[in-house]
Structure 1
Amino acid sequence: MQALLASLSGIVMRLLPLLLMAIVAGSTFWLVQINSPKEDQAAQSTKKHEPDYFMDRFSATELAPDGSTKIRFTGDRMVHFEDDQTYEVTRPAMRAYQPERPPVTARADIGRMNAEGSVIDLYGNGFVLRQQGADASKDPQLTAASSYFQLLVNDDIVKTDKPVKLMRGPSVMTANGLIFNNVSREVQLLGNVRGTIVTGPSPARTPGS
């Protein structure tokens, strides 16, 4: 019996280094597996910012619940990038419509739009035009020019942090930035505001007033 135990002990001692090596090898393989990116993750990380399709002379329209046109977006060319699902547009122009209010148009040389179409950055010769209202004395034409504008489509806001020139009727203003809320019709000029505000003639005074 003692001889058998001694024999088994000798076999175990001889196999122990091999067993330890197998455990270490197995652990190393497991660590490599859990720390290695999956095939689809690796493929995703190697995607380049390259276009996968484009459209020429496109026009897209968003309708209001009553079927009227709410937004119309046009451009000479729209290119889609697969890696981040963004778009680049050549000579983009967006026009927003609201009932009983003059439309607002924004355009530029180049536009970049996020995947959801909720944010559009306009670069180069950016120009925003709000046509005059029914009463030009109270709601004159408004224009803004800058090298950059950002359109927040869902909020109906146009803004820029670049130098901007604003014209409202005969009034001319310049500033370091601008926020235009098309819903509230408010214009906020940001930093180093300069210009000339021209007001209309005062109403004629009645006798005895």
Structure 2
Amino acid sequence: MNAEDDFDLIPGLDRTPAPPARRRRAPWWDRLSIYLPLILMGVLALGSYWLLRATPKAPEPEPAKPASGEPDYFMRRFSVRNFDANGQLRAEVQGDEARHHPDDDRVEIDRARVRNFGDNGSTTVATAQRLTTNADNTRFVLEGNAVVIREGGRDAQGQPLPRLEFRGEYLLIETEPQERVSSDQPVELIRDGDRLNAQNMVYNGETGQADFKGRVRVQLLPRPAP
């Protein structure tokens, strides 16, 4: 009989093999911490995909469209004044309606009235059924019962300036490169009471000379004897 048989004879001794020891499982937060980086990466990937699907596509650049000839703004029954640095009134524009055209930056004014005050104190008044100006206000087209009146005064040298009045259905006033009033349609010039009618005219404001073409008719007032 061997030693194992001796142990079998001991009363109360359980010879049943002990079950294997159970491994203790880690807490759930520990297990979650292991997989958390993978979960976060998956969430970020899904979020990025959703953003790409939800974000609208950038609009494709459209070819530049030419500026429209239709007016883009209006002014009705308006009055605009321009003052110099010393607060002196230099010009005033009034009209029933003004329209701005973006294609060439011109402005059309219905029933326009313009007053301009020169450096020498002279006043020039222009009226017309329609007045059109260019972008830099150096060209003024007067159409329909157009009248331009420059009151008398004195020039920069102190010499007297006669009163001038231009009348016609079409008058063109230019301020650059030199001041002049012209018309390619019948026009009337009144100078201190003298009247001159012509088929067309060009008047130089700097020299005071006027050139007439076509049929010309002149009416002069008698001058007192010196």
Q: Under a length normalisation based on structure 1, what TM-score does the superposition of the two structures give?
A: 0.66
Give distance in 2, aligned partners of 1:140 and 1:63: 26
Measured against aligned partners, the alpha-carbon deviations of 1:106-150 in whole angstroms (never above 9, x if no partner) come to: 11101122222221211111111122337xxx6443211111011
SS in 2 for 1:39: coil
Residue matched to 2:168: 146
Residue matched to 2:151: 131
Residue matched to 2:63: 40
Measured against aligned partners, the alpha-carbon deviations of 1:6-46 in whole angstroms (never above 9, x if no partner) come to: xxxxxxxxxxxxxxxxxxxxxxxxxxxxxxxx8333x22xx
Supply the AA of the counterpart residue of 1:94: V
Shift of 1:78: 0.7
Shift of 1:58: 2.4
Supply the AA of the counterpart residue of 2:100: H
Could you list the runs of 5+ residues in structure 1 that have no partner in the other structure? Answer: 1-37, 204-209
- Match of residue 192, structure 2, among 169, 191, 208: 169
Could you list the runs of 5+ residues in structure 2 that have no partner in the other structure? Answer: 1-60, 155-159
Measured against aligned partners, the alpha-carbon deviations of 1:31-69 in whole angstroms (never above 9, x if no partner) come to: xxxxxxx8333x22xx54211111122233334455433
The correspondence of residues 18-33 of structure 1 with structure 2, limited to 5 A, is none
SS in 1 for 2:203: strand
Give distance in 1, aligned partners of 2:152 and 2:219: 19
SS in 1 for 2:171: strand
1:159 aligns with 2:179: no
Measured against aligned partners, the alpha-carbon deviations of 1:155-185 in whole angstroms (never above 9, x if no partner) come to: 4322211110111223111112222333444
Q: Under a length normalisation based on structure 2, what TM-score does the superposition of the two structures give?
A: 0.61
Supply the AA of the counterpart residue of 2:220: I
Question: How many equivalent pairs are there?
Answer: 160
RMSD: 2.4
Supply the AA of the counterpart residue of 2:63: D
Supply the AA of the counterpart residue of 1:80: H
Supply the AA of the counterpart residue of 2:144: G
Supply the AA of the counterpart residue of 1:141: R
SS in 1 for 2:212: strand
Measured against aligned partners, the alpha-carbon deviations of 1:177-199 in whole angstroms (never above 9, x if no partner) come to: 22233344433333322212224
Residue matched to 2:43: none
Residue matched to 2:69: 49
Supply the AA of the counterpart residue of 1:163: P
Give distance in 2, aligned partners of 1:156 and 1:76: 27
- Match of residue 218, structure 2, among 170, 195, 206: 195
- Match of residue 76, structure 1, among 65, 78, 96: 96
Residue matched to 1:3: none
Supply the AA of the counterpart residue of 1:158: V
1:94 aligns with 2:117: no
Higher gyration radius (CA): 2
Residue matched to 1:107: 127
Give distance in 2, aligned partners of 1:162 and 1:140: 24
Supply the AA of the counterpart residue of 1:72: E
SS in 2 for 1:117: coil
